[in-house]
Amino acid sequence: MALNRLRRLVLLCAAPLTITLPLAQTASADTPSWNGEYAITFMVGPKSGTSMAASEPETQHTENYGFRSSCTGGNCVATIVSGPPPSNPTVPQPVQFTWDGSSWTQVSEFQWDCMMPDTTIQWSPARSTVHYTPRANGTLDGVMHTDISSGPCQGWIEMDMTAERI
C-alpha cells in the first residue's frame, strides 16, 4: 500500500512537469535570436528604384559579421559585434536590429554618398530601412530600402541581401 502511495505521489509531481516542459520549450523556441557569425551578401540581384544610384553598376560582395541578440521586456535586439565597419562613415554605430514579430528590422538616417560622373562625391540626407527575414533553412533574406531626400541621387533605391550562418 505504501508503494501505491509513492507511485501516486510521483505521478502527481510528474504531471505538472509534463505540462510545463513543452510550454517552456515552446517559449524558448519562440524567442527570436540572431547570434553567431554570418556571411552577409550584398547586391543579390539587380537594384531597383527612382534614384540615379539604382542604375549605377555594383558587384555582389560578401562580408562576415558577428551578431549578438538579447531579449528583455518583450523587446529583442540583435547587434553587430564584429566585422568590417560600414564603407560609409556617416552610418550610425553600432548597427542594431529589432525583432518586429517576423523579421529583424533596422532604420538609420545618414548621408548618402552620391557618386558623380566626374567621380566626386556629393552627400545627401538619406534614411534606410533594412529587413532580414529568417527562413526555415537558417538563412535570412534581406531587403534594404533607402530614401534619398535631396541632391543628384534624390529618389529611392532598393536592393536584396542574404545572411548565411558560417
For residue 50, the domain's CATH number is 2.40.128
- One domain, residues 46 and 63: yes
- One domain, residues 26 and 38: no
Domain that holds residue 94: 32-165
Instruction: Give how many domains the chain has, as a whole number.
Output: 2
- One domain, residues 48 and 2: no
- Give the tens place of pLDDT for each residue, 106-151: 999 999 999 998 999 999 999 999 999 999 999 999 999 999 999 9
Q: Compute the distance between CA of residue 125 and CA of residue 147 in angstroms, rounded to an integer.
A: 9
This model's pTM is above 0.85: no
Residue 152 to residues 51, 119, 120, Cα–Cα distance (Å): 8, 13, 12
- One domain, residues 51 and 18: no
Residue 89: exposure state from Cβ atoms within 10 A (0-12, 13-18, ≥19): exposed
**DSSP-derived 3-state class of residue 11:** helix
Nine-digit cell string for 115: 557618386
- One domain, residues 78 and 16: no
- One domain, residues 7 and 24: yes
- Give the tens place of pLDDT for each residue, 70-93: 999 989 999 999 999 988 999 999
